[in-house]
Amino acid sequence: MQTLTITPTPPRRIRQGLARAFRGTRRVCDEHAFAPLLDAKAASKLLGIPPTWLLAQARAGRVPHHRLGHYVRFNADDLRQWLTENKITPGPSRLTTGGRS
User: Is the residue at 14 inside a domain?
Assistant: no
User: Is the residue at 39 inside a domain?
Assistant: yes
Predicted confidence (pLDDT) per residue in 7-18, tens digit = 666 666 666 666
Predicted confidence (pLDDT) per residue in 31-66, tens digit = 667 789 999 999 999 999 999 999 999 999 999 999
CA angle 3/6/10 to nearest 5° reads: 160
Domain interval for residue 51: 35-88
Number of domains in the chain: 1
User: Is the residue at 95 inside a domain?
Assistant: no
What residue ranges in 23-96 does DSSP mark as E strands? 66-68, 71-73
Q: Which of these, 27, 29, 56, lies nearest to 40 by C-alpha position? A: 56
pTM of the model: 0.59
| Rounded-to-integer distance, Cα 66 and Cα 61, Å | 11
User: Is the residue at 41 inside a domain?
Assistant: yes
